Structure 1
Amino acid sequence: MHFYPFFDPTMILLVPAIIISFWAQSKINSAYSEYSQVRTINGYTGQQVARMMLDEAGLFDVRIELINSKLGDHYDPASKILRLSPEVYSGASISSAGIAAHEVGHALQHKERYAPLVIRNSIVPIVNIGSNVSWMLFFVGILLGFKGLTTLGIILFSGVVIFQLITLPVEFDASTRALNILKSRGILYGDETKSAQKVLDAAAMTYVAATLMAVSQLIRLIAISNRRND
């Protein structure tokens, strides 16, 4: 009888994704730190950049809130609140402008009912349940020999993978919108836009890494299940 829910040869499937995840996190930390020290020519803070972009899009009802969480910036479509970390909210750096604009990009997607965002938001409750119980069902099925439970666990975790895959176009599109507005509106000038793109590209890699990790985990679950059934 084989017992390998946590330590088994299939762990090697996660190694590439783990390496890429560490690299992506290092890349975003490096890019953010570098360009958070570079003040923009016009001197707008992240909050001012976001407010200008929101107002020009007619999103006067979207509020901007300060949250005490580094790189925890996000747009909440349910409450129409754009939340910015202290460095982004008050900072007048290239990093602040780029990140604030990116989050406004999500607000614009919400306004226009951008299809991938609508789909992602609609499956959030299911994905939350799946991510919480999939592993438990899978390993209970493995331990007790119930193939139906392991299969159900794999199906539920597949929802997490789908969510991550849908997240990629949502994030890339938000960055594209942000950079286009920053440039066309004259919020950033010349090489400032390229620098902001480096920050947003680095941030995007963290989502790519998360997707690769989810896919690798799914492949591992299938491999464990197949070995157990052999």
Structure 2
Amino acid sequence: MNPDRNSKNRIDSERRASPLRRIEQIPQSLVVLYFIIVAIASMFACLLVAYVYTHTVNDVASNMYSFPRYFSLSTIVLLGSSYVLSQARGLYEQDDLTMLARCLGATLLLGCVFAGLQVLGWRELWGQGVELSGRNGHGTYLYIISGLHVAHVLAGMVYLLVVLLRVIHADQDAVRSLVFIRNPYYRRQLTMLSTYWHFVDGLWVLLFAVFLLLY
């Protein structure tokens, strides 16, 4: 039996198995997060299709209402929060927990501002006569879609607050700080937070584009 051939067969077998092995090595928490993201994306896709269909069937005039300026401002704020959070990984790798805490705190603050601007946007719509239970369904979908998105942002903010408190707690002691930096569990938490936050950010940009197009 040719040992070189056996060695080659073993290497080929390992190469074929490597994709499956990499999949098996993905942490279960990340797999759950990806399933959640797919579920959320599917839900909003269905809502957007229903919204566009209702808008088209009822032939809602584009000049009936002015687009809420607070929705535009909230988009800028959310994009800014995504940029700020994108700095978190570099700060973590630099072992700079103090700046990491500030980064997470700034992201949390921008998330609160985003939610507040959304509320002001709803008030602006209401002032124009766009009601939640309007006859043509136009306002119903506007409130439901944007409201559900805010709910998912708030869920991300809760998790963000948990991570922020852990960073602040670890930064108060050198030993806890070292454990926090070297523990892959906390690195994974930060990865999950960033993934989810960037997802809801991109989702809102898509929703905003559809809202703007139909106006």
Q: TM-score range by the shorter chain?
A: 0.3 to 0.5
Structure 1-normalised TM-score?
0.45
Structure 2-normalised TM-score?
0.48
> Which one has a larger percent strand, Structure 1 or Structure 2?
1
Larger radius of gyration: 2
